[in-house]
Amino acid sequence: MNKKIVILPGDGIGKEVTTEGKRVLDKIAELYGHHFEYEYATIGHDAIEAIGDPLPEESLNKMKNSDAVLFGAVGHPKYDNDPTLKVRPEQGLLKMRKELGLYANLRPIKLFDELLEASSIKPEILKGSDILFFRELTGDVYFGEKGRKDDRNTAYDLMIYQRYEIERIAHKAFQAARTRRKKVTSVDKANVLESSRLWREVVQEIGKQYPDVQLEHQFVDAAAMNLIKSPRSFDVVLTGNLFGDILTDEASQIAGSMGMLASASVGDKVGLYEPIHGSAHDITGKGIANPLASILSAALLLDISFGMKQESAAVIKAVEAVLKAGYRTADIADASTSKDKILNTQQMGTQVVNQLAKV
Ligand code: IPM
Ligand code: MG
């Protein structure tokens, strides 16, 4: 197959990890006779420094004309420490999600058995956890009206959802549940929020079209607790933008480390694939970032955007084998054992590439 992929490294460790994700895509193309053509685009802090725009028009056009995007991360401590700055890297990310119509963010939380010990949660609670989050990505407080009033001493962000926004992501979640353990947990705060009451009403309606799928509702505070208490009780989790943002960071601990989690953002047209971790400036340039989330994002890209099931499975299998052989980046190393072989970012990429050649 011939495919056009945009590589969007972004800021911080985004560059280091997407380099490894791309190497894995290259290897897949070589092994399976595909032709992947790449274009690079800028976003975030780097784009602000270069042209004053966190999402240059040129980058957006490249993405619109591609078959898929492999993205790194955006962010820079300079902005985190100065809330008064008007132009911010994250604006590029949010605009990109909106402009590309990426309304469904899929975040699979699957624990590799080898990493049971890397989590701060007890292995017996974790073992066998396999959750798929559907986080709505283009609505909610992220995109509602926001502003200041009363001499800038009052601030607001409107939490707003429209029926069609809930319907389309609910369908995706129920459809996915059909291919899994047939359970959807919808997470909201319907005991307090009107937007959550609409969310629940619409999800209940859509649920009736999927009688073979069990639907349950949880309030977000209870869901936050249950994720840690009994992660195995979840199959598909369907939730809004803000709750999904928070719960998926929490759920990353079920997978051992943030450095392991990939995500897919899909919707109208082109799909975008990225680690759920951020730009991590504290470790940028040290070459120690875990590239597995980017590599697993590449696996999601192959599967979801290109329908290359076999190729995608090969990448996941290669990652499993590398972990099984004891290779770890620092974030997933088990301090209590000397058996782990600690690798840097590039070495980990090399292990996965070499392993791919064997399967
Ligand atoms: C994420 C990130 C972003 C979000 C930030 C960087 C704006 O945390 O993708 O989860 O809040 O959506
Ligand atoms: Mg987040």
Tell me: do 305 and 335 sit in the same domain: yes
Contact criterion met (CB below 8 Å) for 58 and 4: no
pLDDT, position 71: 98
Tell me: do 64 and 89 sit in the same domain: yes
Q: Is 115 inside a domain boundary?
A: no
Tell me: do 124 and 233 sit in the same domain: yes
Domain CATH number, residue 290:
3.40.718.10
Tell me: do 6 and 67 sit in the same domain: yes
Is 249 catalytic? The answer is yes
Contact criterion met (CB below 8 Å) for 237 and 134: yes
Place of tokens 């784009």: 47
pLDDT, position 66: 98
* Domain boundary, last residue among 222, 254, 286: 254
Tell me: do 138 and 102 sit in the same domain: no
Tell me: do 100 and 164 sit in the same domain: no
DSSP at 191: T
**Gap from CA of 307 to ligand 2 centroid (Å):** 27
Q: Is 316 inside a domain boundary?
A: yes
Radius of gyration of the chain (CA): 20
Q: Nearest 5 degrees, angle CA 141-CA 145-CA 146? A: 80
**Gap from CA of 246 to ligand 2 centroid (Å):** 6
Tell me: do 221 and 238 sit in the same domain: yes
Q: Is 281 inside a domain boundary?
A: yes
Task: Tell the residue nearest (CA) to atom 10 of ligand 1.
Answer: 245
Tell me: do 172 and 278 sit in the same domain: no
Tell me: do 246 and 263 sit in the same domain: no
pLDDT, position 118: 77
Domain total in the chain: 2
Q: What range does the domain containing 102 cover?
A: 1-109+258-359
Tell me: do 250 and 262 sit in the same domain: no
Residues of the chain scoring pLDDT < 50: none
pLDDT, position 80: 86
Distance CA 238, CA 160 (A): 17
Closest CA to 276 of 167, 179, 137: 137
> Catalytic one among 26, 130, 249, 334?
249
Q: Is 99 inside a domain boundary?
A: yes
Q: Is 16 inside a domain boundary?
A: yes
Residue type, 160: I
* pTM reported for the whole predicted model: 0.94
* Domain boundary, last residue among 221, 254, 287: 254
Q: Is 103 inside a domain boundary?
A: yes
Distance CA 118, CA 114 (A): 9
- For the CA of 94, the closest atom of ligand 1 is 7
Instruction: Note the Cα 157 to chain centre separation in Å.
Output: 24
User: Going by C-beta distance under 8 Å and a sequence separation of 6 or more, which residues neighbour residue 276?
Assistant: 107, 248, 249, 252, 258, 261, 262, 263, 293
Closest CA to 97 of 66, 133, 142: 142
* Domain boundary, last residue among 254, 273, 299: 254
Is 142 catalytic? The answer is yes
Tell me: do 191 and 222 sit in the same domain: yes
Tell me: do 274 and 336 sit in the same domain: yes
Pocket test for ligand 1, best of 11, 13, 93, 103 (most atoms within 8 A of CB): 93
Q: Exposed/middle/buried for 350, CB within 10 Å: 0-12, 13-18, 19+? A: middle
Task: Tell the residue nearest (CA) to atom 11 of ligand 1.
Answer: 245
Residues having CB closer than 6 A to ligand 1 are 75, 90, 93, 245, 276, 278
Q: Is 59 inside a domain boundary?
A: yes
pLDDT, position 334: 77
Q: Is 114 inside a domain boundary?
A: no
